[in-house]
Chain A
Amino acid sequence: MISLHKKFDFKNFITENSALVALILLFIVSIVLQGTTFLSFRNIINILRNNSIIGIVALGMTLIIIIGGIDLSVGSQLALTGLIAISVINVTQNIVLGILACVAAGIVLGIITGGFVAKFRIPAFIVTLGTLTIYRSVAQYWFSGGGLMISGKVSDSFISISNTNLFGTIPLPIVFWLILSVLVALFMSKTPTGRYIYAVGSNEKATKLSGINADRVKIITFAIAGLLVALAAIVEAARLGSINSASSGTSYEMDAIAAVVIGGTSMSGGRGKIVGTVFGTLTIGIINNMMNLLGVPPFLVGAVKGFIIIAAVLLQKRLDRKEMS
């Protein structure tokens, strides 16, 4: 009566994976423009490493956007939790303790946002617009607007977290990004909570009436996103050996949201894939890299990037519409 197996449909594959198609197009354009330099192993590794932190933040952002929210405060969260990690390590000289404190702080910040969104029914946009300035301000007040460097005898081992190469070639941040992407993708497609996130984002009322605690699902979503931001903060802190209360993480929310949107996740919630976000992050990474290689003046980079983001989403919409008719 019903079959488990479906025939492979090429047209369907293209529309469902428009983010990948856009990425491949961009890849080809890059090869044509800057063939040897772009394709060099060092350059590719560079792109991946430079975008692994945004990539991790974008994973959590995907969950939040799928459930119908948005998080503008990820940059401030990253600065604050990163500072917590370094402070704890500097004082205790215990890296594990620092990481645990950082992760716990990330989860708490997520629960705070999720709590306001779920229990007091304030739009996530508003809540995180508030927390964006609160967290940044707290961080700056704490360190008088300056930064904090890792110090003591554990500094080198902490810094090695982000500055070690697996098999001598692949920087660890890329590995972290990859592993977390697979885990989050599995979580979204294979666990009940993952499916509830899609359901709440698509139709909260119907989900509630199916006997599911939609408020709890929302809070869990923000908590997971907070956890991911904290992990990104550790990678960032370890990479540079310091976090700056004023500048660390600024405008990360923009790149993360752009990656999610380019990846095909619907801003109105209910639809989206983790793999799309990974492709979206890579797309932004390649754009940045290409403009660097082509020598686009730094002040023009933003304009080109913005244009390409809109163009990418426009392309997806067209593909979607063709699918419907």
Chain B
Amino acid sequence: MSKYIVQMKAIEKSFNVSKVLHGVDFSLKEGSIHALLGENGTGKTTLMNILGGVLPANSGEIYIDGEKTAIAKPNDATEKGIAFIHQELTLINDLNVYENLFLGTELKTGILLNQKDMAVRSREILDKMEVDLDPHTMVRDLNASYKQIVEIARALLKNARVIIMDEPTASLTDVEIEHIFTLMRGLKKKGVSFVFISHKLNEVIKICDEYTIMRDGRVVADGNLTEDITENDLAKHMVGKELSYDDLFKTRNLGDVILETKGLSRDKEFSDINLTVRRGEIVGVTGLLGDGRSEVLGTVYGCNTDYKGDIFIEGEHVRMHSTPKAKKLGISYVPRSRKENGIVKDLSVAENMSLSILSRLKTAGLISKSKQFDSNDRYVKNLNIKVSDIDGLITSLSGGNQQKVILAKALGSEPKLVILDNPTQGVDIGAKLEIYSIIMNLAAQGVSFVVLSSEAQEILRLCDRIYVMYHGKMKKMFNRDEATEEKIMVVATGGTIDRERADRA
């Protein structure tokens, strides 16, 4: 029906001796949202970098509007109307919206900036996008979804007709994601095409028209995303085998209460939080971004000294005033935002993994290389971490493997309770399932977990009980058998589930 705006044919690409793209074909229709799927390291980003002029292809052809085109550098791509929005946004917080939009292409009168025209032009673009946003707003004051919107506006300002988005929803809340999706649907009607790279298959199903799935540098499936295609169908192609979460959850015998908070409060962040976790239990805490769940569990881990209320560990009342104290009491923590809070980028994989247990790896006061090696090797095997050189920098690993290293670090101290904040961030489906089963197996051995996530599916798959927070308050606790995605959403957005009324109806 609609014509192809981009066609890539038989694209081949090698880095040194390893071939990462084996003759890939990729076609994008005008006014279509096209999902580009695949596990980490299958060549999606390489393919898009070739389209965006960031990397040259070894062979193959690119057609834009049916015409053979050479894209040698990013500027060529921009000229052809192709924009690449990277996972890490490139906005400058200390400038306002229109200054960011025109960064590098400022309008000038003589040698002075023409601020008025820039503001007016920005307003036009935002109006076209049907976004209500004042171009004079400082970018630092915008929430994550508006920042994403400014990135899209910047692409449109350069007359982009193809917008490549690499994991655009990774750091957004559900409401913000819906916001972006509405915008994308509107632009689609105006003839703008999108390439949507994401690990979140439920979103792909919701928003995309077509799909291309890659595995090991080849296209393994593509077509229209019709109604009858399910997440499982897509996942199966991505990993090359049937993936099932059905056997994941195991019923376990739970022990005594290991963590209890009573009336836990902190300034404006959260108030009156009562929470219990039993030995071997997996407890989920969910809600929208800004619900305060990270702050609550951060406090339990000793990150904040100025809290009110009481924390009991194995029945004993404790003041959690520092993270070493929490560690000593057998708690460990996998923080959200791996890059900022998780990895130590200048240390090697081995050094990151053993960071929290160095005191146990000593011989005569010095770190024993062989003890460190043995301890790490165990986790590399148990968690199936793919690492070619354990003494190489942690940044040389893929996101999923970095996350497993952080998990290994947390498990290394043999904790009784592990707090996992957004544990599968940027992790592909195969590795996700692996992480879930690691959690489940450890829980069966008596380790307790608190899983913080805004992905309701993740919580529902793993947890024995689910707490839902809203604006710093604990709104409701569901047992596993009574929780559904819908009920969680209602409570997380501030609604109430009135059982009496439901019964009467």
Q: Are B358 and A192 in contact (CB under 8 A)?
A: yes
Indicate if B347 sits at the interface (CB-CB under 8 A): yes
CB contacts under 8 Å to A, within B343-378, are 343-347, 351, 355-356, 358-359, 362, 365-367, 369, 373, 376-377
Indicate if A213 sits at the interface (CB-CB under 8 A): yes
Q: Are A202 and B340 in contact (CB under 8 A)?
A: no
Tell me which residues across on chain B come within 8 A of A201, comparing CB atoms. 346
Tell me which residues across on chain A come within 8 A of B409, comparing CB atoms. 210
A-B contact count (CB 8 A): 95
Indicate if A279 sits at the interface (CB-CB under 8 A): no
Q: Are A190 and B367 in contact (CB under 8 A)?
A: yes
CA distance A208 to B366 in the complex (A): 22
Tell me which residues across on chain A come within 8 A of B413, comparing CB atoms. 211
Chain A nearest CB from B427 CB (Å) reads 18
Chain B nearest CB from A234 CB (Å) reads 26
Tell me which residues across on chain B come within 8 A of A212, comparing CB atoms. 323-324, 355-356
Tell me which residues across on chain B come within 8 A of A213, comparing CB atoms. 322-324
Chain A nearest CB from B415 CB (Å) reads 9
Q: Are A209 and B333 in contact (CB under 8 A)?
A: yes
Tell me which residues across on chain B come within 8 A of A202, comparing CB atoms. 344-347
CA distance A250 to B447 in the complex (A): 58
| One of A2, A190, A199 near B347 (C-beta < 8 A) | A199
CA distance A192 to B368 in the complex (A): 10
Tell me which residues across on chain A come within 8 A of B324, comparing CB atoms. 211-213
CA distance A159 to B390 in the complex (A): 50
Q: Are B366 and A206 in contact (CB under 8 A)?
A: no
Residue of B nearest to A205 (CB): B341
Q: Are A206 and B380 in contact (CB under 8 A)?
A: no
Indicate if A271 sits at the interface (CB-CB under 8 A): yes
Give 1 or 0 for each of B303-323: 1 = CB within 8 Å of chain A CB: 100000000000000000011
Indicate if A203 sits at the interface (CB-CB under 8 A): yes
CB contacts under 8 Å to A, within B177-196, are none
With A202-B345, A211-B326 already in contact, the answer to whether A2 and B366 are too (CB < 8 A) is no
Give 1 or 0 for each of A158-202: 1 = CB within 8 Å of chain B CB: 000000000000000000000000000010001110011011011
Q: Are B367 and A207 in contact (CB under 8 A)?
A: no
Q: Are B344 and A6 in contact (CB under 8 A)?
A: no
Q: Are A192 and B359 in contact (CB under 8 A)?
A: yes
Indicate if B327 sits at the interface (CB-CB under 8 A): yes
Q: Are A195 and B367 in contact (CB under 8 A)?
A: yes
Indicate if A32 sits at the interface (CB-CB under 8 A): no
Tell me which residues across on chain B come within 8 A of A208, comparing CB atoms. 303, 323
| One of A6, A186, A192, A206 near B389 (C-beta < 8 A) | A6
Tell me which residues across on chain A come within 8 A of B46, comparing CB atoms. none
Q: How many residues of B contact A (CB 8 A)?
A: 41
Indicate if A1 sits at the interface (CB-CB under 8 A): yes
Chain B nearest CB from A120 CB (Å) reads 15
Among B323, B365, B377, B388, max chain A CB count under 10 A is at B323
Indicate if B381 sits at the interface (CB-CB under 8 A): yes
Q: Are A1 and B377 in contact (CB under 8 A)?
A: yes
Q: Are A211 and B327 in contact (CB under 8 A)?
A: yes
| One of A191, A195, A211, A266 near B365 (C-beta < 8 A) | A191
Chain B nearest CB from A224 CB (Å) reads 15
Residue of B nearest to A2 (CB): B390
Among B341, B343, B355, max chain A CB count under 10 A is at B355
Tell me which residues across on chain B come within 8 A of A195, comparing CB atoms. 347, 351, 355, 358, 367
Q: Are B355 and A199 in contact (CB under 8 A)?
A: yes
With A192-B362, A192-B367, A209-B333 already in contact, the answer to whether A199 and B301 are too (CB < 8 A) is no
Chain B nearest CB from A16 CB (Å) reads 12
CB contacts under 8 Å to A, within B470-497, are none
Tell me which residues across on chain A come within 8 A of B335, comparing CB atoms. 205-206, 209
CB contacts under 8 Å to B, within A67-94, are none
Residue of A nearest to B345 (CB): A202
Tell me which residues across on chain B come within 8 A of A6, comparing CB atoms. 389, 391
Indicate if B41 sits at the interface (CB-CB under 8 A): no
Q: Are A199 and B326 in contact (CB under 8 A)?
A: no
CA distance A21 to B474 in the complex (A): 61
Q: Are B365 and A206 in contact (CB under 8 A)?
A: no
With A209-B323, A211-B323 already in contact, the answer to whether A1 and B356 are too (CB < 8 A) is no
Give 1 or 0 for each of A208-226: 1 = CB within 8 Å of chain B CB: 1111110000000000000
Residue of A nearest to B386 (CB): A1
| One of B303, B328, B332, B343 near A206 (C-beta < 8 A) | B343
Residue of B nearest to A203 (CB): B344
Tell me which residues across on chain A come within 8 A of B74, comparing CB atoms. none
CA distance A190 to B367 in the complex (A): 5
CA distance A154 to B96 in the complex (A): 70
| One of A2, A4, A206, A266 near B344 (C-beta < 8 A) | A206
With A195-B367, A270-B346, A271-B346 already in contact, the answer to whether A205 and B340 are too (CB < 8 A) is yes
Give 1 or 0 for each of A44-74: 1 = CB within 8 Å of chain B CB: 0000000000000000000000000000000
Chain B nearest CB from A270 CB (Å) reads 4
CA distance A186 to B366 in the complex (A): 9
Give 1 or 0 for each of B373-402: 1 = CB within 8 Å of chain A CB: 100110011000001111100000000000
Chain A nearest CB from B161 CB (Å) reads 32
CA distance A1 to B379 in the complex (A): 12
CA distance A199 to B303 in the complex (A): 18
Chain A nearest CB from B250 CB (Å) reads 28
Indicate if B342 sits at the interface (CB-CB under 8 A): yes
Chain B nearest CB from A320 CB (Å) reads 13
Residue of B nearest to A271 (CB): B346
Residue of A nearest to B410 (CB): A210
Tell me which residues across on chain A come within 8 A of B358, comparing CB atoms. 192, 195-196
Q: Are A203 and B366 in contact (CB under 8 A)?
A: no
CA distance A198 to B369 in the complex (A): 17
Chain B nearest CB from A197 CB (Å) reads 11
Tell me which residues across on chain A come within 8 A of B328, comparing CB atoms. 211
CA distance A190 to B376 in the complex (A): 17
CA distance A302 to B199 in the complex (A): 58
| One of A2, A198, A199, A203 near B380 (C-beta < 8 A) | A2
Tell me which residues across on chain B come within 8 A of A191, comparing CB atoms. 365-367
With A191-B367, A211-B326, A212-B324 already in contact, the answer to whether A198 and B356 are too (CB < 8 A) is no
Q: Are A209 and B344 in contact (CB under 8 A)?
A: no
CA distance A192 to B365 in the complex (A): 8
With A1-B380, A192-B358, A199-B355 already in contact, the answer to whether A209 and B346 are too (CB < 8 A) is no
Chain A nearest CB from B244 CB (Å) reads 27
Residue of B nearest to A213 (CB): B324
Give 30 A-B contacts (CB < 8 Å), ordered by A residue: A1-B380, A2-B376, A2-B387, A2-B388, A2-B390, A6-B389, A190-B366, A191-B367, A192-B358, A192-B367, A198-B344, A198-B347, A199-B347, A202-B344, A202-B346, A202-B347, A203-B340, A203-B343, A206-B342, A206-B343, A207-B355, A209-B323, A210-B323, A210-B327, A210-B356, A211-B326, A211-B327, A266-B346, A270-B344, A270-B346
Interface residues of B (CB under 8 A from A): 301, 303, 322-324, 326-328, 332-333, 335, 340-347, 351, 355-356, 358-359, 362, 365-367, 369, 373, 376-377, 380-381, 387-391, 409, 413
